[in-house]
Amino acid sequence: MPTEHLIDQVLEQGGIQDLQGLLSTRQLSARELMQWTLLRIAAVSQASGGINAVRELSAQAFDEAAAVDRRIERGEPLGALGGIPILLKDNILTGDGLRASAGAAALADFKVRRDATLVARLRAAGAIVVGKCHMTELADYVSDTMPAGFSGVGGMVLNPHTNEPYGRGLGSSVGSVAAVAASLVPLAIGTETQNSLQSPACHSSVVAVKPSVGLVSRAGVVPLVPSQDSPGPITRNVADATLALECLAGPDCRDSATLGARYGALGGEIPLSSLRIGVSRRAIADRPEVAGSMACFETVLSLLASGGAQIVDPCEIPSASAVLDVRSCVFRTEFKAALNVFLADHHEPCGIASLDALIAWNDAHPQHIPFGQSLLMAAASAFGLDSDQYRRDRAQDVALCGPGGIDAALAAHHADVLLVPMACAAKITGKAGAPVVALPAGADADGRPFGITVVASRGDDAALLRAAAAIERAVESGLGPRILSRFPRLT
């Protein structure tokens, strides 16, 4: 039987299968796992000086853990995620009494009676929803000066590795990412429209997957840009992310984007030597945020080459420079239309019937929007989805980033995946609806987490995950275990 020290190590660093091994052999009960999780959340997130990742806890979680223990006692098999505590981003709806504000103070008390499709699938796999995580308000579409991690509902989320805010433009799934980085839970669910999973993950030394748009249903998720929105898992390793994604994926009549997605088994292993990895240098150009960590990236490339991977360097995205200069109306147009439909469908939650009503509420409560609401106001003035400008801009986004971007780079060099430092290709992957895996890759010269992102064409999620797992093995073999958060083991 493992010692108490080894059990603690599994709790803090182990994968989902490691935890389920302790549960199924009764070396740890689901109630003990839940108690440990709640104590850690209290100590690391909720206490004074904590990271402020978790907004609210479920009143049902402990009872659900007890039900898992009863199933184990009866010899019933656990589901793929049986007994595993998980946290959800605050834009994902649940029918268990948890609120879903998307970070907006105007929607602070919004509750529904029906789980989002993805939540229903997680519960069917046996996962236990522990609570909700803070997020950048309205998926970072309130103000062009608001730092990532801030919301009118929750204040500021801190990075577990630095005890500092994430900074402007580093995505909205920061609470979910911080929760996994600080070992509050082994699995959290976030969403990405452009960089909201991959960017904070790279800054937090965790794995995150943004699936192809449509692989995971968005029904029951507060929208930002439906043509780009995609929920995905945050975990400690690629194997866990793959397992979670297999539970999340599937068609849903409530989300038409899922009806044309490519489904199938996502797992499996391939040797690193079978991979041709393209390096898109042009996507990295003029990116001051990664200039100080390029030495880390070159080290990763050397490790992969020495492990047998074929490195195609450069493997340019033809449209990379053009995409960086694109100014599109897609975000503001889709956000206005989608939010108005969502609010109407949910019977004007908290009295907010439209984007205009939300802006008016914020004007009347300026203490909740200290960074202003410039993006909301720009969205309010947007033309409709049937406007010529929107149609041209959306078509341009797709053409530049999909067929003329990621797809063209991979085809021209017969590469399997593209690799970039941090989230340098986020704008391209977002507009293309393409899948991305963010992987930890050590730390920069200042000791801050450094990550890489692996990219494939839209629909190639299975091949991407297999490639990411091979890259993960090589990086961990060469660099050693990822850096851990600053928080000590709980006693």
What is d(CA 349, CA 121) in angstroms, rounded to the nearest whole number? Answer: 25
What is d(CA 432, CA 331) in angstroms, rounded to the nearest whole number? Answer: 14
Contacts of 360 (CB under 8 A, 6+ apart): none
8-state DSSP, 249: B
* Residue range 468-480: mean pLDDT, rounded: 92
The catalytic position among 196, 212, 217, 485 is 196
The catalytic position among 29, 45, 172, 199 is 172
Identify the CA nearest to 231 among candidates 281, 191, 278, 203. Answer: 191
pLDDT of residue 3: 66
pLDDT tens, residue by residue, 197-216: 999 999 999 999 999 999 99
pLDDT tier at 1 (50, 70, 90 boundaries)? very low
Q: Which two tokens stand for residue 116?
A: 């989002």
Evaluate whether residue 355 is within a structural domain.
no
Evaluate whether residue 382 is within a structural domain.
no
Better-predicted residue by pLDDT, 347 or 491: 347
Domain ranges, residue 189:
4-328+391-479
DSSP output for 257-305: GGGG---S-------GGG-EEEE-STTTTT-HHHHTTHHHHHHHHHHHH
Evaluate whether residue 374 is within a structural domain.
no
Residue 487 has pLDDT above 60, yes or no: no
Evaluate whether residue 486 is within a structural domain.
no
- The pTM (predicted TM-score) of the whole model is 0.96
- Identify the CATH number of the domain in which residue 73 sits: 3.90.1300.10
Evaluate whether residue 30 is within a structural domain.
yes
Residue 41 has pLDDT above 80, yes or no: yes
Report in angstroms the alpha-carbon separations of 80 from 59, 100, 211, 240.
Answer: 23, 26, 19, 10
pLDDT of residue 187: 98
**Is 89 among the catalytic positions?**
yes
What is d(CA 203, CA 440) in angstroms, rounded to the nearest whole number? Answer: 9
Contacts of 23 (CB under 8 A, 6+ apart): 29, 30, 33, 68, 72, 78, 82, 83
The number of CA neighbours under 13 Å toward the Cβ of 176 is: 37
The catalytic position among 89, 132, 210, 427 is 89
Evaluate whether residue 275 is within a structural domain.
yes
8-state DSSP, 86: E
Evaluate whether residue 215 is within a structural domain.
yes
Evaluate whether residue 88 is within a structural domain.
yes
pLDDT tens, residue by residue, 431-466: 999 999 999 999 988 889 999 999 999 999 999 999
Write down the residue that tokens 């840009």 correspond to.
Answer: 225
pLDDT of residue 310: 98
pLDDT tens, residue by residue, 48-73: 999 999 999 999 999 999 999 999 99
How large is the C-alpha radius of gyration of the chain? Answer: 21
**Is 196 among the catalytic positions?**
yes
What is d(CA 167, CA 195) in angstroms, rounded to the nearest whole number? Answer: 13
Question: Total domain count for the chain?
Answer: 1
78-82, 264-268, 407-411: segment of lowest average pLDDT: 264-268
What is d(CA 26, CA 24) in angstroms, rounded to the nearest whole number? Answer: 5
**Is 172 among the catalytic positions?**
yes
